[in-house]
Amino acid sequence: MHRVLGLCLVVLLALPFATTAQERGVTAEEVVVGSSMPLSGPAAYWGAVGRAMEAYARYLNDQGGVHGRRLRVVLRDDGYLPPRAAANVRELVERVGVFAIVGLIGTANAFAVRDYIVRNEVVWITPTADASMWYGFRDKKYLFVTYPSYVEEAKILVDYAAKQLGVRTVAVFYQNDLYGQKGLLGAKQGAVRSRVRIVAQVPYEVTQADVSSEAVKLRESRAEAVLLYATPRHGALIVREMAKVGYTPKLLSSFTLGDPIMFALAGEAWNGVISTAFFPLPGMGDSKVDEALAVLTRVDPALRTNPYNALAGWAFMEPFVEGLRRAGRDLTKERFVQAMETIRNWDGQVIRGVTFGPDRRQGIHRVYLTRAEGGRYTKLTDWISYPTGF
Amino acid sequence: MVELRTSYAQDLRLVSGWTGWAGLVFLLAGLVLLPLVAPRYVVYVATLAAVHSLVAVGLNLLVGYTGQISLGHAGFFAVGAYTHGLVLTRLGWGFWPALLAAAVTSAAAGFLVGLPALRLSGPYLAIATLAFGLATHQVLVNWEALSGGRSGLFLPEVRLAGASLKDERVLYWLVVAVTCLLVLAAVRLLRSYVGRAFVAVRDSDVAAELSGVNLTRYKTLAFALSALYTGVAGALMGHVVGFLEPQLFTLFESVYFFSMVVVGGLASVSGSILGAVLLTLLPQLLSGMGEALNVLYGAAVILVLRFEPGGLAARWLRVQRYWRSWPL
Amino acid sequence: MSLLLQYVANGLAAGSLYALVALGVVLLYRSSRVLNFAHGDLATLGVFVAFTALARGWPYPVALGAGLVGTALVSAAFYRLLIKPVRQATALSLVITTLGFALLLSGLMVWIWGTDTKVFPFPLSEVRVYRLGGVVVSELSAGSLAVGLLLVAALSLVVQKTRLGLAMRAVAQNPVAAQLLGVPAGRVLAATWAVAGGLGAAAGMLLAPAVLLDPFMMLDPFLKGFAAAVLGGMDSLPGAVLGGVVLGVAESVFAGYVSVKYKATLAFVVIVAVLLAKPEGLLGRPFHRRV
């Protein structure tokens, strides 16, 4: 038996050991960034963000890279599971040796790796988790986030419904996890501020296939508006079910449902939905975003089926690349941080209005509202700002 | 050369001969020294593998040795993890009392699940344990006051003799120490009359009962012990990840544990460990493969069962026997 | 009152699908004493095959038929290659084999078709509704109920009135004795697996237009179908149907009047309660072990 166990040890030790460079992840020829994403399993739809990051890097490299360095993106699959995300991040930092971790999908996963990343002073760009998890968190020196706050956007949506649509009662349909619960929290706070009543809070589980009871429950609440914090699939399902049972409230949704796939999934029931967005969407007349999408689908045709998440991937990488540019050829972590802190109201090709500073790590603090009509999203309002928290 | 045993005491001995002792010393030295020579991510993966080994050994006690089925072991994993977490945070107890609480609660849960198991067998038992696992997950998700729901339950930083468990190395040593002790206890237990009773229950519970093995006592004991091991592993897992979330305790986890035991070898403690280590490393080593990993997993389980039902341990045994009797 | 009827109507529609899944599960359990955990994934595979066929422009009957036949073939092949040859198969190893197969299938489906949600075109519309009093029933739900009844009727006809059905019942009762009497047990069992697979695929095809197609869509309905099979009795085909309907309605009414949050838990509570009180289910016969 000991021989067997000894075998285990040998197997473990066979894992190749770390390589160290001058500055971790930086050599004369390349800058290495890593990310942990769900590339398999039920959440693999979001993995397109990582593939878009790779495609964007390839595009940049074709143009000569940044200060003569190529950008290399290393992706690891965590199946949306926190222990694997934690193991992946450790491997990326210690074995692969990355300069930064860019993106990381899932609030639970972000929590699982947060302490390690902070302790090891790893540059971390935009984990896709609700921004409020960083409020009051110390040790944010190497953290730069350009991701909206679910809580704040919910408040904005409720406010719009109250002021512009004359709504007095709101129901919330939300996914029963941190994402949905943050949305619900924002809705409640917004309801107080805008003087509307939340008349129903209807959760659902990600594994659920049938939402007919939930639709009936929403109908029974007689709310004038329903706020959706869901995945594209469940967003489409509930909207269809509600239409089926003859309930047609005003519909508001989080930016995650600003994905054009909703038109295919939900059909006509999706027209009239008001969503938020944190970057200009393709087909709105913004040529830079349209061009970015064209580049991505050219480099990686598989991204054609997932344009929304692809653009999100570009949006996450952009500020990082800008930081690399501003830091100059002599790249170290400190110079990178200083460079990022000089970014003021900067517009990238996809992301807009990014601001960082010595005390500011929340890169964007505004969203705008869109309206779904005729199979496209049209711009409904201008940028609406919310207070920054970190 | 076949080992001949000339006394009962010799049969009971865990380690025999100078090769046995040398191997043991090498193994222990390797385990202790690993964090000092390997990078921290290897240590992290090794800690994860140790936790999984503990679960696999516990599950094997029930499935391989006592012949029961459990598709809901993630439930016991969760009971142990959340008990430990809640006792640490809500009651403010220290680490060891909290771990003990986790062990006791899991064992009690195992006992309770084992009671209906007395009346059920085969597929019905599989379904009942499946339902237990799924129901536990549901409770964790929905009873936010207890579990922190989807926001998670954060474990505080624990200091043992001045060393913090947030340090991967300290955590590794702790987890490996606990695992080794429990595995040793399991091996000794299996070589005693309790182990023989388990195997008797597995091979033919009617005959066992006729021979004087109290089915009620041993079946529930098997469940309780198995749950205890899994619960302790769950408590340790909490420290490995740093927080607890219901997502860590789904049906997928139960199936994952099951695969470890089957691939490693039913009724073989070292097999369970081997299976656990392998199935912990595989996702890490093959991270770039994306979906192909699940395909590989499924194929591995099927192939192992089809061509080597005894798992890797049985294959290893065959290899050993071949070399021992070579050149015959 | 119409609200209650609405919940019941929703429950009947869901229940008919649970019943179809349960039928497949029970069919296999009765004949091979195997709990097929890959049933859900096999069903999904059939739907994806039909989806691809439809995308290529094949007409509905052919495409759906292709899905059904495809699942039936894979199911029978699985039996032939992985279940039958294992001589000393214990219940445990069979269960694990099916679990491994389930994992393999779901991985394969994601690999080939991707994880993005797809719309499954279907001749019956999910959006067109009929209103009876205050109750809303979609064309698809009505269709599911009708098709479900049809399939149940067809199955019971086959099992009770045909020679194949007789052979299936004989093999289920005692495979060795059946073989001694000249029944080709292997072929009959392969046919049983094929039929079970087809039933699952049918359930999947009725479900996909409503819940949108992705590789994991059958996970929840499959577990509910399991619960329904346990409730009705693992060795009783009528029991599976009854269990499915009862579970569907109970779930819907529970979600409507008691708690939406715990709707999913109901199925598992049902399983546990049934197993504790009456393991053989509502219509099953008590399980006697021969020593």
CB-based contact C141:C14 (threshold 8 Å)? no
Q: pLDDT band at A58, cuts 50/70/90? A: very high
- Candidates A5, A72, A84: best to mutate against B (most CBs of B within 10 A) is A5
- Note the pLDDT tens digit of each residue in C104-137: 898 888 888 877 788 888 887 777 777 777 777 8
CB-count exposure of residue B249 (10 Å: 0-12, 13-18, 19+): buried
Assess whether pLDDT exceeds 80 at residue A71.
yes
Give the chain C residue nearest B122 (alpha carbons): C91
Q: Which residues contact A80 (CB under 8 A, 6 or more apart)?
A: A38, A41, A42, A43, A105, A106, A109, B247
pLDDT at B307: 82
Beta strands in chain C (DSSP E): 129-132, 135-138
Assess whether pLDDT exceeds 50 at residue A18.
no
Assess whether pLDDT exceeds 80 at residue C9.
yes
Residue B159, SS3 per DSSP: strand
B283 in contact with A at a CB cutoff of 8 Å? yes
Kindly list the partner chains of chain C, i.e. chains with 3 or more CB atom pairs below 8 Å.
A, B
C156-165, Cβ contacts within 8 angstroms, sequence gap of 24 or more: C156/C237, C156/C238, C158/C195, C159/C237, C164/C188, C164/C191
| Residue A204 β-bridge partners | A175
In this prediction, residues A249-275 reach a mean pLDDT of: 90
| pTM score of the predicted model | 0.85
CB-based contact A235:A218 (threshold 8 Å)? no
pLDDT at C4: 84
Assess whether pLDDT exceeds 70 at residue C138.
yes
Q: Is the peptide bond before B283 cis (omega within 30 degrees of 0)?
A: no
Domain segments of chain C: what residues?
2-222
B211 in contact with A at a CB cutoff of 8 Å? no
Quick check: B135 and C276 CB within 8 A? no
The Cα of B271 is separated from the nearest Cα of chain C by a number of Å equal to 16
Backbone angles phi, psi at A74, to 5 degrees: -110, 120
- Candidates B129, B250, B294, B297: best to mutate against C (most CBs of C within 10 A) is B294
Q: Check residue A150 and report its DSSP letter.
A: H
Q: pLDDT band at C291, cuts 50/70/90? A: low
- Note the pLDDT tens digit of each residue in A193-241: 999 999 999 988 877 777 888 888 899 899 999 999 998 888 999 998 8
Q: Which residues on chain C are in Cβ contact (under 8 Å) with B258?
A: 96, 99
Nearest beta carbon to residue C214 from set A213, A220, A233: A233
Gap between the Cα atoms of A88 and A85, Å rounded:
5
pLDDT at A22: 64
B298 in contact with C at a CB cutoff of 8 Å? yes
A265 in contact with C at a CB cutoff of 8 Å? yes
Q: Which of A195, B164, A243 is CA-nearest to residue C136? A: A243
Residue A111, SS3 per DSSP: helix
Q: Which residues contact A94 (CB under 8 A, 6 or more apart)?
A: A18, B39, B40, B41
CB-based contact A37:A113 (threshold 8 Å)? no
Backbone angles phi, psi at A59, to 5 degrees: -60, -45
Q: Which of C4, C19, C229, C16 is CA-nearest to residue C140? A: C16
Quick check: A94 and B41 CB within 8 A? yes
| Residue tagged 């001949």 (tokens) | B4
Exposure string over A309-330, b if 16+ CB within 10 A, otherwise e: bbbbbbbbbbbbbbbbebbeee
As given in the structure block, the two tokens for residue A220 are: 């029974």
Helix, strand, coil share of chain B (percent; to 5): 75, 0, 20
Cα angle for residues B44, B47, B48 (degrees, 5° grid): 90
pLDDT at C159: 85
Q: Which residues on chain B are in Cβ contact (under 8 Å) with A139?
A: none
CB atoms within 10 A of CB B145: 6
Q: Give the amino acid at A303.
A: L
- Note the pLDDT tens digit of each residue in A275-297: 999 999 888 888 899 999 999 99
CB-count exposure of residue B282 (10 Å: 0-12, 13-18, 19+): middle
CB atoms within 10 A of CB A380: 17
Q: pLDDT band at B49, cuts 50/70/90? A: very high
Q: Which residues contact A149 (CB under 8 A, 6 or more apart)?
A: A130, A131, A132, A182, A186, A386, A389
DSSP element (H, E) containing A386: none
Exposure string over C239-256, b if 16+ CB within 10 A, otherwise e: bbbbbbbbbbbbbbbbbb
Q: pLDDT band at A21, cuts 50/70/90? A: very low
Residue B165 to residues A111, B93, B186: CA-CA distances in angstroms?
17, 16, 26
Assess whether pLDDT exceeds 70 at residue C289.
no
Q: Which residues on chain B are in Cβ contact (under 8 Å) with A86?
A: 44, 240-242
pLDDT at A207: 74
Residue B154, SS3 per DSSP: strand
The Cα of C24 is separated from the nearest Cα of chain B by a number of Å equal to 16
pLDDT at C201: 93
When the pLDDT of each residue in chain C is averaged and rounded to a whole number, the result is 85
Q: Which residues on chain A are in Cβ contact (under 8 Å) with C134?
A: none
Interface size between A and B, measured as CB pairs under 8 A: 145
Nearest beta carbon to residue B135 from set C29, C108, C272: C272
Q: pLDDT band at A159, cuts 50/70/90? A: very high
Q: pLDDT band at A19, cuts 50/70/90? A: very low
pLDDT at A169: 94
- Candidates B43, B48, B142, B150: best to mutate against A (most CBs of A within 10 A) is B150
Give the chain B residue nearest A3 (alpha carbons): B23
As given in the structure block, the two tokens for residue A282 are: 């393709």
Quick check: B290 and A90 CB within 8 A? no
Gap between the Cα atoms of C192 and C188, Å rounded:
6
The Cα of B231 is separated from the nearest Cα of chain A by a number of Å equal to 17
Q: Do the bridges between strand A70-77 and strand A30-37 make them parallel or antiparallel, or are there none, so unpaired?
A: parallel
Q: Which of C153, C152, C191 is CA-nearest to residue C169? A: C191
In this prediction, residues C242-270 reach a mean pLDDT of: 83
pLDDT at B151: 66
Assess whether pLDDT exceeds 90 at residue B28.
no
| Percent of residues, chain A, with pLDDT higher than 70 | 94
Residue C212 to residues A204, A366, C198: CA-CA distances in angstroms?
16, 33, 20
CB atoms within 10 A of CB B92: 9
| Percent of residues, chain A, with pLDDT higher than 90 | 44
CB-based contact A363:A345 (threshold 8 Å)? no
Q: Which residues on chain B are in Cβ contact (under 8 Å) with C265?
A: 135, 138-139, 142
Residue A365, SS3 per DSSP: coil
CB-based contact A60:A317 (threshold 8 Å)? no
In this prediction, residues A21-40 reach a mean pLDDT of: 84
When the pLDDT of each residue in chain B is averaged and rounded to a whole number, the result is 85
Quick check: C255 and A217 CB within 8 A? yes
pLDDT at C42: 93
CB-based contact A215:A237 (threshold 8 Å)? no
Gap between the Cα atoms of A91 and C109, Å rounded:
29
Assess whether pLDDT exceeds 50 at residue A79.
yes
Residue B197, SS3 per DSSP: helix
As given in the structure block, the two tokens for residue A141 are: 């020196």
- Candidates C96, C97, C218: best to mutate against B (most CBs of B within 10 A) is C96
Q: Which residues on chain B are in Cβ contact (under 8 Å) with A81?
A: 247-248
Gap between the Cα atoms of C161 and B282, Å rounded:
51
Quick check: B309 and C289 CB within 8 A? no
Q: Which of C137, A266, C198, C261 is CA-nearest to residue B143? A: C261
Q: Which domains, ranges and CATH numbers included, belong to chain A?
A: 30-148+285-358 (3.40.50.2300), 150-277+370-385 (3.40.50.2300)
- Note the pLDDT tens digit of each residue in B94-123: 899 999 999 999 999 999 998 887 888 777
A232 in contact with C at a CB cutoff of 8 Å? yes
| Residue A74 β-bridge partners | A34
As given in the structure block, the two tokens for residue B162 are: 């001045």
- Candidates C117, C207, C252: best to mutate against A (most CBs of A within 10 A) is C117
As given in the structure block, the two tokens for residue C279 are: 């393991």
As given in the structure block, the two tokens for residue B250 are: 């789904």
pLDDT at B23: 80
Would residue A139 be called left, alpha or beta, if left means φ above 0 and alpha means ψ between -120 and 50 degrees?
left
pLDDT at B67: 83
Residue A197, SS3 per DSSP: strand
Q: Which residues on chain B are in Cβ contact (under 8 Å) with C277?
A: none
Gap between the Cα atoms of C109 and C112, Å rounded:
5
Assess whether pLDDT exceeds 50 at residue A20.
no
C124 in contact with A at a CB cutoff of 8 Å? no
Nearest beta carbon to residue C91 from set B123, B299, B306: B123
Q: Which residues contact B105 (CB under 8 A, 6 or more apart)?
A: B79, B80, B83, B231
Gap between the Cα atoms of A182 and C200, Å rounded:
38
Backbone angles phi, psi at C290, to 5 degrees: -85, 135
As given in the structure block, the two tokens for residue C75 are: 């199911």
Q: Do the bridges between strand A100-102 and strand A225-229 make them parallel or antiparallel, or are there none, so unpaired?
A: unpaired
Pick the more confident residue, C174 or A322. A322
Q: Which residues on chain C are in Cβ contact (under 8 Å) with A45?
A: 115-117
In this prediction, residues C237-242 reach a mean pLDDT of: 88
What are the helix (H) ranges across C56-182? Answer: 60-78, 91-113, 139-161, 163-173, 175-180
Residue A302, SS3 per DSSP: helix
pLDDT at A187: 94
